[in-house]
Amino acid sequence: MWTTSILVLHCFATLVLAGGSGGKNRTLNQLAVQQGLHYFGSASDNLSGSWDDEPYVDILLKSHEFGQITPANAMKWGLVETQRGVYNYTGGDQLVKAGKKAGMVVRGHALVWHSQLPDYVGTITDAATLHSVTFAHIKDEVKHFKGELIAWDVVNEVFEDTGGMRETIFYNLLGEGYIAEAFRAAHAIDKHAKLYLNDYNLEFADAKWETAVSFVQGLVDSGVPIHAVGFQGHLLVGQVPTVETLVKALSAFTDMGLEVAFTEVDIRMEMPFTDDKLAQQAKDYQTVVEACLAVPKCVGITVWDFSDKYSWIPGVFPTQGAALPWDENMQKKPAYGGIVAGLT
C-alpha cells in the first residue's frame, strides 16, 4: 500500500518535472549538460554516404541533439594511412570542421586497434618495423589533429573477452609495453586531449573488467598519462547489467582518479523488432544513462550513430539490429524516451 502510493507519487513528480523544466523540448545534449555531463554525443560515418542524406544530417548537425561527434571510421589507421608514411586526413578534417561549425566537440577514434589496419601492417613480422610504423602513425595523427579534439581513444580493445591481454599483432610483437608508450607519445604531442583506453564488455564487471582494472591501475601507478577509460557500451536488449553493476564497473576506474565515458552505445535486439523489445530497449538505454549520471566522473555518453539506417550492427550481427534511438526513417523510437527519462 505505502509502496504503491510512494510509487504513484514518484511517477507523478517525474511527470511534472519532465513536463516542466525537465524533458520537454530539450535536446539530449541540453539535458545531459543540465545534469552535469560534458555532452551527449553521436558517432557518424561521414565516409559512408550518410552525409548526403539530408534528414539524417539535419538531426546530426542541426538539431542540437548532440554536443559531441566521433568519427565512426574517418580517423582509423586503415583509412588515414593506407600506404606507409602517406597520410590522408580529408575525412577526419571534414568531420572536425562540420562538428565544430555545429557547436560540437570531437572525440578522436582510434589510434591503435587490431582491426581496420592498413594491409602493410598485417604483413610485418618483426618488432622493430612494427614499433617504427606504429609510433610514426600515432605521432603524425595526433599532431595533425592537435588542438581539435577533446579526447583520443589511444588504444582500442586491448583485452581478451575472457580476461587477459588480447593477442594482437601489437601485443605479440611488442609486448604490452607498447600501450604505456602509446599514451606517452600521444601526450607528448597533445597535452589537452584526454587520453582513453577504450574497450567493450567492461560493463559486466567480470573477468575482462578485472584484467582491465589491474592493467589500468598499473599504468596509473607508473605515472603513464592515461586520463580515462571508455566503455563502448555495445549491449543487448534485456541483457544490460543493472545500474549497480554498471556503477561498480565504472567506479573502479574513477576511484583511480580517471574519467570514464560510454563511448559507443548501441543496444541491439534479435530482429524483427516488436513493441515489447522496443519498450525493453527504452529501459535499457535509461539504465545506461542512470549509471553514468550516478558516477561523478562519467563525463558523457555517445551513441554509435543515432539512426538504425546507419548502424554497423546488421553488418556484423546479421540477425540483429534496431540498436539505436532513431529508426531507419529518422523517427525517434521509445529508446529516445528512455534516454530522456534517464536524463531527467
Site string for ligand XIL, 54-83 (x = CB under 6 A): ------------------xx----------
Angle, nearest 10°, between helix axes 127-145 and 177-189? 30
Closest approach of Cβ 313 to ligand XIL, in Å? 9
User: Does 259 qualify as catalytic in the annotation?
Assistant: no
User: Does 167 qualify as catalytic in the annotation?
Assistant: no
Q: Which of 44, 68, 156, 251 binds ligand XIL (CB under 6 A)?
A: 156
Cβ proximity to ligand XIL, 45 vs 141, nearer residue: 45
Closest approach of Cβ 43 to ligand XIL, in Å? 7
> Measured between alpha carbons, how far is residue 54 from residues 13, 244, 306 in Å?
38, 40, 14
Element of type H or E holding 194:
strand 194-199
Closest approach of Cβ 215 to ligand XIL, in Å? 18
DSSP state string for 146-176:
TTT-SEEEEEE--B-TTSSB---HHHHHH-T
Q: Which of 65, 148, 264, 308 binds ligand XIL (CB under 6 A)?
A: 264
| Subset of 309-338 contacting ligand XIL (CB under 6 A) | 312
Closest approach of Cβ 327 to ligand XIL, in Å? 18
Q: Is 45 in the site for ligand XIL (CB under 6 A)?
A: yes
Closest approach of Cβ 73 to ligand XIL, in Å? 5
Half-sphere exposure of 135 (CA within 13 A, CB side): 18
| Subset of 86-125 contacting ligand XIL (CB under 6 A) | none
Please pick, among 81, 141, 148, 264, the residue that the annotation labels catalytic: 264
> Measured between alpha carbons, how far is residue 342 from residues 32, 65, 150, 243, 284 in Å?
9, 15, 25, 11, 10
Nearest CA-CA partner of 68 in 194, 156, 252: 194
Q: Torsion-angle region of residue 116: left (phi > 0), alpha (psi -120 to 50) or beta?
A: left
Please pick, among 65, 157, 203, 259, the residue that the annotation labels catalytic: 157
d(CA 184, CA 177): 11
Query: Catalytic positions, please?
Result: 157, 264
- Give me the residues that bind ligand XIL (CB under 6 A), please: 45, 72-73, 156, 232, 264, 312
